[in-house]
Chains A and B, each alone.
Chain A
Amino acid sequence: MPPPERPFPVGRSPRPKQTPLLTPALCAALLWLTTTSTSASEAGATSWSLQAGDRVVLLGDTVIEREGERGVIETALVAAHPGADLTFRNLGWSGDTVWAESRGVFDAPSAGYARLLDLVGALRPTVVFVAYGRNESLAGAAGLEAFRVQLVRLCSDLRGPAGDGTTPAPRIVLVTPPPIESTPPLSAAAADARNRVLTDYATVIRSVATEQEAGLVDLFAATTSHLPAGARLTENGIHLTDAGYGAAAAVFAASCGKSLSGDHPGRTAAIRAAVNEKNRLFFHRWRPANETYLFLFRRHEQGNNAIEIPQFDALVDAAEAKVWEMARESP
């Protein structure tokens, strides 16, 4: 007897849109594809790239959830793909794990996991970033195998029943967690101990990426090297600073063959503002307040107001169009 689910129709028509050939955006995208796919040196079994019109879903814990507010990684990827009209949907949830431990709400995590798959399916992504491992690593070495098994299952579930059968399975890109930083309140000893465990979890993520023929963004290995000298990666050992997100964005960009070095600050700021507004609106769409009254067991009281929630779709679409517009403008 599961509770009724919030209907989650995707506001816009399923993509790829019925766009005429050779729109300006497509021209730009084609141009981009022909001119920038040069970084094959990094390409390997776990290489990945973003294509024009890709719909990207981000899954993960607080690192991803707060990226939804900061918008740094998304902005970098949008900026690096001008005219590609990428769609990003951030489904990060604080404290979450590959078992969807933060998503159970009134149910067990397994129900939250099922809802997550439904939600991802409704969003019809072509690419899913899966950024887990740090909360799981609190279980230590003893939890490693269970994590691996569930990560594999998540990859498979995201590719499998998540779609409606008419669209191809999304490409999966696994993301290792950024390292824990020795910054107050975390002592050096505590951070080291956490990172030793995290090393093993990152290794598992890399090997799953290879086995699953998924892409890989190795934040654990590479984030620190992209950090400006003297900058702190985190605010408190675990939550990324803006500089930390910038470094993570550089790792994302580099691992798909892009560089952020030529970004124009004004253009980036404009894209980021648009990205953040779009993500703010989308948050109220997928995780609205008062779920109990709108969709769950007290919906007899306010369920009539549930109609407001899909009204966010049009607002999200408009905000996304603004992102694309900003991304198309040349520096």
Chain B
Amino acid sequence: MRSNSLSSRCFLATAIVIVAGLPTPASAQRALTDIPTPDPTAELAAMEVAEGYEVNLFASDPAIRKPLQINFDPAGRMWVSSSSVYPQLRPGEIPNDTVTILDDTDGDGVADVSRVFAAGLHMPTAVLPGDGGCYVANATEMLHLADTDGDGRADARRTVLSGFGTEDTHHLIHTFRWGVDARLYFNQSIYIHSHVETPHGVRRLNGGGMWRFRPATLDLAVFARGWVNPWGHAIDPWGRSLVTDGAGGEGINLGFPGAAYFTAVGTPRILHGMNPGSPKLCGLEILSGAHLPDDAQGTLVTHDFRANRVCRYRLTESGSGFESEKLPDLIRSPRVDFRPIDVKMGPDGAIYIADWYNPIIQHGEVDFRDDRRDRTHGRIWRVTAKGRPLVPRFDATTLSNGELLDVLTADGWARDAARRVLVERGIDEVGPDLDDWASAARRAAPGTAGYHRGLERRCLELLWLRQGLDDGSNAVIDGAILSRVLNAPDPRARAAACRVVIDWADRLGRPGVGPDGSPGPIDLLAPTVDDDVAAVRLEGVRALAAVGAVAETSPADATRAAALALHVVDHPRDDALDYAVWLAARELQGAWLPAVLAGSFDDGGKISRVLFAIRAAEATAASGWMVEQWQQGTISGADLDALLHAVALLGTADELRLVFDIALAADTPAAKAASLLGHLAESQRKRKVAPAGDLAGLTRLLTSPDEALEGAAIDAAGVWQVEATAAVLASLAAADRPLPRRQAACRALGNLPGQPAHDALAALAAEPTTPEPLVAASLAALVGRSVDEGARLTAAWLARGPGDAAVHEVLRAFLGARGGADRLAVALAGVSIPEATLRAVIQDVTAAGRPEPQLTAALERGSTTGSRTLNAADRAAVLARVGTGADAARGRELYRRAELRCLACHRIDREGGRVGPNLTAIGSAAQPDYLLDALLDPAKSVKEGYGSLVVVTVDGQVTSGIPVSRSDTELVLRDALDKEVRLQLNDIEEEAPGTSLMPAGLVDSLSREELADLVRYLSSLGR
């Protein structure tokens, strides 16, 4: 950004005006003036429907309004929860939201019965029929509403669970569904903090995630963590959970016990979804059934409600999970009021879509009380395949047990309905029929005459039924079938059966459960961790971790579970599988670590398993044991490297010294020495533990001809503050060598105590011939030692007009030091800074994620243009040009222009940083006016999950960043440079929510036409 370009090209200098007195820029939907007529016929006519499908209106207002969730009951009726209170109860308003039952009794595809089952509810974000009524999300509570007198209306209301947070009303507990195990799965979103008292203890979840709940026993547990708005959850025929996120951008996510995704609390590590850069998705259903064509079978339907369309994905098994491919949309609409949010397969084999119907979505951007918020309309659309017969509908509640059991291997709604009815009938009523039904499968084992694959599915369904029917007795358990499914030819069956073992772990293998000597849970799971198929290993290791943690498991068995879980280390691992065994090692630390230390742990002769566990659990207590193993001299090769790395990361100062001496040894290969130094330095960063004794020997490595070793040595010298290295570092910094190495030497010098280091930096910074990047490095390093001197030198330097990159480095140093910004403000008094440099400085200050009023004031005094925005007319003109005349291709070039820094922080497809929201599909999510405002005033509206956190650590460092994860010991932030910064919670003195990390003024140099081009390009993404 040069000042001449500013003066010659920038219309902003004249067109934009000082902010004072103007209305604030309107936000995303605030400027929406074209409110469509809420006519379902017109809405339907506007839909573009995929070839081969058609849509009809199943139900509409006034029968239903503002539908939030739909679910079918086993009789084939649709239950709808609706809220007109959302987004916020008015003072004096009596909450009167409803649950409505819709039915199509004549089979013409249109609801002909509509009955309000319950009213008086407060934002019922979910409804799920079951147990003689329905479960309903009601703000802080989960209610059960029952109709006890058969008049079709709820007359009994019971609070099932309470203590759910309401910090954000589109985050309230939601997405209720029954699992194949007859557990009620439900989700909460990122801002919700829940504290639920159950008879078995208090369950807390301070953030997004998925709960697993059994109403009959009130067993409640967190199943998976993370996500922003996990508004979709489907379960495939093999019991695998698939999740969508209404504000995350990774498409389809795989859910398994203990999984953690974006925003997860309580873990330092997260997984990623299958479609990075995907639009934000709401609702999820798997298509199946004879009504739909073959190419639809097994595909996923979900909604990009921001872009008014119904999307499809196809999954393919891959590694321990799936790959996901986006398919052409099922429905697209140009109307902003079409807001598909839920989707379910219906009893006739058609696809049912809940359309929330609202031109205004969400509740951050547009005022709660804005008149354009629709509170009265809503639609249910029904999608059918043209020319294909419907599935004959039946009422599962009227079928016999035997008939229902045969339905269990059917598709879609029918299978779920049959399972629900059987589970509610109870084990006493269903048990005998189960045994009959299972007998055929028992006789026909794999390899015998009469065996066929269908029997494996039948056995799995049988297991799930018994899981659902579990009354806590021994008799309900069928260990023989369980064992058989765990050894089934189909790996999906083997994987699914692992979870059943968890629920039965308290009884399997105990006296009175099955024949004497029948296998216990750990025996049953043992083969799974060496299975040929990664997906089985994943479920196996998660199951072993869970079984090892069950109270009934003896310490010896828990140790055995851990030993088996670590078998997974022997095999190839994708990210999810590596995560699964990493988590198991952490969860079972209390089981394996004492055994390892006592020398009784069975690692199968593979120390790599133990080393993996030690690293995963960060088990510092094991460092002495590792040193002993090493000193016995029996370990070599990759195992030895892994061991030394682990000692370097986790050992005591004396143990670190042993590793350090190896790095120093003349016969140690340079690459190995570099790697050891790197791990040792990490130990200082993370744990504040450095090798014991005099570290001056490091000086020799500073002049290593090996670049990697030299770099590691420079870094270590700074991290350990080895004063004896000052002279060599100073000469490295001053030598005529590649700049990155000299900059590293400066950074190291910045940490060193003593006058020589200080003098070397000051000299470099003041020397006129020093290259600009090196001055920046010197100044930044000086700030860490003497803020005032750094500020004095920096002020003089800024007056000389250094370039953007150098400015950014130095400013970050000031902004990262407590009080640094204020001291720079003092030094800047009376200093005149060239406009282009000033602009770069202001960008840094606005991107700090927090206000720095003194420095901002000092900079504004020096600025001739002040803060800027567009006036209303110019804004309208730019937006008009976005509509006609703007050039997306030119916008794309602008986007990629280095000085605009878009690419540094935002990802499109697989390119770009991850500091800010992924923009791959931003055009489907945001209107042009919102994009324009976000470019001009980034702090105005910060997307969920991208609010920054400002953290001050005990050493006075200030870090702003987007929270990535948080565990009991560590907070990980993504800083404005797209770097993950790991902060130890013990080191954190203060933390507070910050503002946007996006610098203001990035687009100030663009002409009006260019601005329109850029917005046009962004609008085109994902459309």
Q: Are A and B associated in one complex?
A: yes
Q: Which residues of A come within 8 Å of B, CB atoms?
A: 1-3, 61-62, 65-66, 69, 93-96, 101-102, 104-106, 135, 138, 180, 185-186, 190, 235-239, 284, 287-293, 296-298, 300-302, 304-305, 308-309, 311-312, 315
A292–B162 touching, CB < 8 Å = no
* Contact A305:B368 (CB < 8 A) given known A95-B195, A96-B195, A290-B167: yes
B163–A291 touching, CB < 8 Å = no
Bound form: Cα–Cα A94–B164 in Å: 8
**Interchain nearest-CB distance for A107 vs B (Å):** 9
B191–A292 touching, CB < 8 Å = yes
* Contact A1:B195 (CB < 8 A) given known A95-B202, A135-B202, A289-B123: no
Bound form: Cα–Cα A237–B199 in Å: 6
Please indicate the chain B residues that have their CB under 8 angstroms from the CB of A102 in the complex.
163, 193, 195, 204
Interface size class of B (residues with CB under 8 A): 35 or more
* Contact A238:B197 (CB < 8 A) given known A302-B363, A305-B368: yes
A292–B167 touching, CB < 8 Å = yes
B196 interface residue per 8 A CB criterion? yes
B89–A289 touching, CB < 8 Å = yes
B284 interface residue per 8 A CB criterion? no
A1–B167 touching, CB < 8 Å = no
Partner of B166, one of A1, A66, A287, A304: A287
B90 interface residue per 8 A CB criterion? yes
Bound form: Cα–Cα A272–B89 in Å: 23
Please indicate the chain A residues that have their CB under 8 angstroms from the CB of B191 in the complex.
106, 292
Interface residues in B353-367 (C-beta closer than 8 Å to A): 363-365, 367
B167–A61 touching, CB < 8 Å = no
**Interchain nearest-CB distance for A284 vs B (Å):** 6
Partner of A2, one of B168, B193, B992: B992
**Interchain nearest-CB distance for A242 vs B (Å):** 12
Please indicate the chain B residues that have their CB under 8 angstroms from the CB of A300 in the complex.
940-941
Please indicate the chain B residues that have their CB under 8 angstroms from the CB of A138 in the complex.
201-202
A1–B990 touching, CB < 8 Å = yes
B364–A301 touching, CB < 8 Å = yes
**Interchain nearest-CB distance for A198 vs B (Å):** 13
**Interchain nearest-CB distance for B850 vs A (Å):** 8
Please indicate the chain B residues that have their CB under 8 angstroms from the CB of A308 in the complex.
88, 90-91
Please indicate the chain B residues that have their CB under 8 angstroms from the CB of A95 in the complex.
163, 195-197, 202-204
Q: Mark B3-40, 1 if CB is under 8 A from A, else 0.
A: 00000000000000000000000010000000000000
Bound form: Cα–Cα A206–B363 in Å: 48
Please indicate the chain A residues that have their CB under 8 angstroms from the CB of B368 in the complex.
290, 302, 305
B947 interface residue per 8 A CB criterion? yes
Please indicate the chain B residues that have their CB under 8 angstroms from the CB of A69 in the complex.
159
**Interchain nearest-CB distance for A29 vs B (Å):** 31
Bound form: Cα–Cα A80–B162 in Å: 30
Please indicate the chain B residues that have their CB under 8 angstroms from the CB of A2 in the complex.
992
Known: A61-B197, A185-B219. 15 other contacts (CB 8 A): A1-B990, A3-B992, A65-B163, A93-B163, A94-B195, A138-B201, A185-B218, A290-B88, A291-B166, A293-B363, A302-B88, A304-B367, A305-B88, A308-B90, A311-B91
Q: Closest A-chain residue to B990, C-beta based?
A: A1
Interface residues in B167-211 (C-beta closer than 8 Å to A): 167-169, 172, 191, 193, 195-204, 206
Please indicate the chain A residues that have their CB under 8 angstroms from the CB of B139 in the complex.
289
B92 interface residue per 8 A CB criterion? yes
Please indicate the chain A residues that have their CB under 8 angstroms from the CB of B92 in the complex.
311, 315
* Contact A93:B195 (CB < 8 A) given known A289-B139, A290-B363: yes
Bound form: Cα–Cα A19–B386 in Å: 77
Q: Which residues of B come within 8 Å of A, CB atoms?
A: 27, 87-92, 123, 139-140, 158-159, 162-163, 165-169, 172, 191, 193, 195-204, 206, 216-219, 363-365, 367-369, 850, 940-942, 947, 950, 990-993
Q: Closest B-chain residue to A304, C-beta based?
A: B367
Q: Closest B-chain residue to A94, C-beta based?
A: B163
**Interchain nearest-CB distance for A82 vs B (Å):** 29
Bound form: Cα–Cα A1–B570 in Å: 48
Partner of B217, one of A62, A185, A305: A185
Bound form: Cα–Cα A65–B364 in Å: 29
B196–A94 touching, CB < 8 Å = yes
Bound form: Cα–Cα A80–B204 in Å: 38
5 interchain residue pairs of minimum CB distance: A94-B163, A95-B195, A1-B992, A297-B993, A102-B195
Bound form: Cα–Cα A1–B202 in Å: 30
Bound form: Cα–Cα A124–B198 in Å: 33
Bound form: Cα–Cα A96–B202 in Å: 9
A290–B91 touching, CB < 8 Å = no
* Contact A289:B202 (CB < 8 A) given known A301-B364, A302-B368: no
Bound form: Cα–Cα A304–B162 in Å: 30
Bound form: Cα–Cα A287–B202 in Å: 20
Complex A-B: 20 CB contacts under 8 Å:
A2-B992, A61-B197, A65-B163, A94-B163, A95-B197, A101-B195, A104-B193, A105-B193, A180-B199, A185-B219, A186-B199, A235-B158, A236-B218, A290-B87, A290-B168, A293-B364, A300-B941, A301-B365, A302-B364, A309-B91
**Interchain nearest-CB distance for A31 vs B (Å):** 36
Bound form: Cα–Cα A241–B348 in Å: 42
Give the one of A95, A106, A190, A312 with max B CB within 10 A.
A95
Please indicate the chain B residues that have their CB under 8 angstroms from the CB of A65 in the complex.
162-163
Bound form: Cα–Cα A185–B140 in Å: 22
**Interchain nearest-CB distance for B219 vs A (Å):** 8
* Contact A291:B167 (CB < 8 A) given known A2-B992, A296-B993: yes
Q: Closest B-chain residue to A186, C-beta based?
A: B199
**Interchain nearest-CB distance for B540 vs A (Å):** 29
Q: Closest B-chain residue to A297, C-beta based?
A: B993
Bound form: Cα–Cα A289–B172 in Å: 9
Bound form: Cα–Cα A238–B200 in Å: 9
B197–A62 touching, CB < 8 Å = yes
Bound form: Cα–Cα A236–B158 in Å: 12
**Interchain nearest-CB distance for B998 vs A (Å):** 15
A94–B197 touching, CB < 8 Å = yes
B163–A185 touching, CB < 8 Å = no
Bound form: Cα–Cα A290–B140 in Å: 12
Bound form: Cα–Cα A58–B501 in Å: 45
Bound form: Cα–Cα A245–B908 in Å: 58
**Interchain nearest-CB distance for A293 vs B (Å):** 6
Please indicate the chain B residues that have their CB under 8 angstroms from the CB of A237 in the complex.
199
Please indicate the chain B residues that have their CB under 8 angstroms from the CB of A1 in the complex.
850, 950, 990-992
**Interchain nearest-CB distance for B447 vs A (Å):** 42
**Interchain nearest-CB distance for B126 vs A (Å):** 16
Bound form: Cα–Cα A69–B167 in Å: 20
Please indicate the chain A residues that have their CB under 8 angstroms from the CB of B168 in the complex.
290, 292-293
Please indicate the chain B residues that have their CB under 8 angstroms from the CB of A292 in the complex.
167-168, 191
**Interchain nearest-CB distance for A28 vs B (Å):** 30
**Interchain nearest-CB distance for B164 vs A (Å):** 8
Please indicate the chain A residues that have their CB under 8 angstroms from the CB of B199 in the complex.
180, 185-186, 190, 236-238
**Interchain nearest-CB distance for A298 vs B (Å):** 6
Bound form: Cα–Cα A301–B940 in Å: 8
**Interchain nearest-CB distance for B93 vs A (Å):** 9
Bound form: Cα–Cα A12–B992 in Å: 33
**Interchain nearest-CB distance for B773 vs A (Å):** 33
Bound form: Cα–Cα A315–B218 in Å: 36
Partner of A312, one of B91, B123, B992: B91
Please indicate the chain B residues that have their CB under 8 angstroms from the CB of A298 in the complex.
364, 942, 947
Bound form: Cα–Cα A289–B92 in Å: 15
Bound form: Cα–Cα A190–B201 in Å: 12
Bound form: Cα–Cα A50–B159 in Å: 31
Bound form: Cα–Cα A180–B614 in Å: 41
Q: Closest A-chain residue to B162, C-beta based?
A: A94
Q: Closest A-chain residue to B190, C-beta based?
A: A292
Please indicate the chain B residues that have their CB under 8 angstroms from the CB of A312 in the complex.
91
**Interchain nearest-CB distance for B197 vs A (Å):** 5
Please indicate the chain B residues that have their CB under 8 angstroms from the CB of A185 in the complex.
199-200, 216-219
**Interchain nearest-CB distance for A61 vs B (Å):** 6
Please indicate the chain B residues that have their CB under 8 angstroms from the CB of A238 in the complex.
197-199
Please indicate the chain A residues that have their CB under 8 angstroms from the CB of B87 in the complex.
290
